[in-house]
Amino acid sequence: MRTAYLFVFAQAHQDFRLPEILSIAELHGFTITFPKEGQDPSRPFVVLELEEEHHARLLARRCILIKAVYEFYAQGSTYEEVHEANRRNRHLWSRYIENTSFKFMVSAHNHTIPQWRQREVIESFSYMDFMGRIDMKDPEIVIGCFEEYPNRSGTTRAKDEGDGEFIQVWFGRLIEEGSARPLIKKFDVKKRAYYGNTSMEAEISLFMANQSLASPGKLVYDPFMGTGSMAYTTAHFGAQVFGSDIDGRQMRGKGDQPGIVRAASQYGVSARILDLCTFDITHNPWRCGELFDAIITDPPYGVRAGAKRLGRKKHRPDLTPSTPASVRDPDMPYIPPTKPYELAELARDLVLLSRYLLKPRGRLVFFLPTVTDEYQEVDVQTMLCEGMEVIANSLQDFGSWGRRLVTIRKTTLERYPAPTFDARLPAPNGSEDVAAHVPAHQDFRRRYFEGFRKVVDDESNK
Amino acid sequence: MVRLITHNLLACHVRGCNSNNFPLQFQDVQIGLREAEFNPDFLRGFLPKIEWNALVGAARQLGDTSLPEEQPSMLDDDFLKTLHHVLLEIHVEEGAMVCPNCKHVYPISNGIPNMLLAEHEIG
pLDDT of residue A445: 82
DSSP letter string, A28-73: HT---B--STT--TTSSEEEEEES-HHHHHHHHHH-TTEEEEEEEE
Tens of pLDDT, residue by residue over A334-387, are 778 888 888 888 899 999 999 999 999 999 999 998 888 888 878 888 889 999
Using DSSP bridges, classify how beta strands A219-222 and A308-310 pair: parallel, antiparallel or unpaired. Answer: unpaired
pLDDT of residue B49: 94
Tens of pLDDT, residue by residue over A391-411, are 999 998 888 888 999 999 999
User: Contact, A166 vs A48, CB < 8 A?
Assistant: no
CB atoms under 10 Å from CB of A398, counted, come to 10
* Measured distance CA(B26)–CA(A101) in Å, rounded: 67
pLDDT of residue A104: 95
How much is the mean pLDDT over chain A?
Answer: 88
Residue B1 forms contact with A (CB below 8 Å): yes
* 3-state class (DSSP) for residue A221: strand
More confident residue, A218 or B123: A218
For A249, the closest chain B residue by CA position comes to B112
Residue B5 forms contact with A (CB below 8 Å): yes
The answer for A 106-145 residues in CB contact with B (under 8 A) is: none
* Measured distance CA(A296)–CA(A240) in Å, rounded: 12
Q: Confidence band (pLDDT; 50, 70, 90) for A458?
A: very low
Cβ of B36 within 8 Å of Cβ of A271? The answer is: yes
Helices and strands of chain A, counted as H and E runs: 15, 15
CB atoms under 10 Å from CB of B39, counted, come to 19
* Measured distance CA(A241)–CA(A230) in Å, rounded: 9
* Measured distance CA(A352)–CA(A39) in Å, rounded: 36
Residues of chain A found within 8 Å of residue B6, distances taken between Cβ atoms: 242, 274-275, 277
Residue B38 forms contact with A (CB below 8 Å): no
pLDDT of residue A461: 43
Strand ranges across the sheet with B25-33: B25-33, B90-98, B105-109, B112-113
Looking at the predicted structure, is the pLDDT value of residue A217 above 90?
Answer: yes
pLDDT of residue A256: 85
CB atoms under 10 Å from CB of A447, counted, come to 21
CB atoms under 10 Å from CB of A359, counted, come to 18
More confident residue, A321 or B35: B35
Cβ of B118 within 8 Å of Cβ of A323? The answer is: yes
* Measured distance CA(B50)–CA(A409) in Å, rounded: 25
Phi, psi for A287 (deg, rounded to 5): -70, -35
Looking at the predicted structure, is the pLDDT value of residue B84 above 60?
Answer: yes
Cβ of B10 within 8 Å of Cβ of A277? The answer is: yes
Residues whose CB falls within 8 Å of the CB of residue A340, separated by 6 or more in sequence, listed in order: A302, A306, A307, A308, A309, A313
Residue A77, CA distances (Å) to A87, A146, A367 in order: 16, 12, 38
pLDDT of residue A432: 57
- Region of A88 (left: φ > 0; alpha: ψ -120 to 50; beta: rest) is alpha
More confident residue, A44 or A458: A44
In chain A, what are the domains?
Answer: 3-177 (3.30.2130.30), 189-446 (3.40.50.150)
Q: Confidence band (pLDDT; 50, 70, 90) for A457?
A: very low
- What is the average per-residue pLDDT within A68-92? 96
DSSP letter string, A358-373: EEEEEEEEEEEEEEGG
Phi, psi for B27 (deg, rounded to 5): -140, 135
Beta pairing partners, A338: A310
Tens of pLDDT, residue by residue over A409-456, are 999 999 988 988 875 555 445 455 666 678 888 888 888 888 877 654
Looking at the predicted structure, is the pLDDT value of residue A460 above 60?
Answer: no
User: Contact, B32 vs B116, CB < 8 A?
Assistant: no
The answer for A 289-308 residues in CB contact with B (under 8 A) is: 290-291
- Which of these, A337, A312, A307, lies nearest to A445 by C-alpha position? A307
Residue A115, CA distances (Å) to A76, A156, A222, B60 in order: 22, 21, 51, 74
Beta pairing partners, A253: none
pLDDT of residue A449: 82
Comparing CB atoms, the residue among B107, B110, B114 nearest residue A257 is B110
Determine what percent of chain A is predicted with pLDDT higher than 90: 64
Residue B82, CA distances (Å) to A48, A356, B59, B69 in order: 47, 30, 11, 13
How much is the mean pLDDT over chain B?
Answer: 93
Q: Confidence band (pLDDT; 50, 70, 90) for A459?
A: very low
* Measured distance CA(A239)–CA(A241) in Å, rounded: 6
pLDDT of residue A211: 97
pLDDT of residue A318: 62
User: Contact, A344 vs A435, CB < 8 A?
Assistant: no
DSSP letter string, A309-337: EES-SS--TTSPPP--GGGS-TTS-----
Looking at the predicted structure, is the pLDDT value of residue A268 above 60?
Answer: yes
pLDDT of residue A280: 92
Domain ranges of chain B: 4-122
* Measured distance CA(B107)–CA(B8) in Å, rounded: 16
Could you give the ipTM of this predicted complex? 0.95
- Which of these, B46, B39, B117, B103, lies nearest to A321 by C-alpha position? B117
- Which of these, A421, A412, A423, lies nearest to A350 by C-alpha position? A421
Tens of pLDDT, residue by residue over A94-106, are 999 999 999 999 9
pLDDT of residue A423: 54
Tens of pLDDT, residue by residue over B32-56, are 999 999 999 999 999 999 999 999 9
- With the C-alpha atoms ordered A152, A153, A156, A162, is the resulting torsion angle positive or negative? positive
CB atoms under 10 Å from CB of A117, counted, come to 15
Cis peptide before B23 (omega within 30 of 0): yes
pLDDT of residue A462: 38
CATH class name, domain B4-122: mainly beta
CB atoms under 10 Å from CB of A35, counted, come to 12
- Which of these, A105, A255, A75, lies nearest to A174 by C-alpha position? A105
Tens of pLDDT, residue by residue over A220-250, are 999 999 999 999 999 999 999 999 999 888 8
- What is the average per-residue pLDDT within A181-195? 94
For A246, the closest chain B residue by CA position comes to B116
- With the C-alpha atoms ordered A76, A79, A85, A89, is the resulting torsion angle positive or negative? positive
Cα B43 from chain centroid?
A: 15
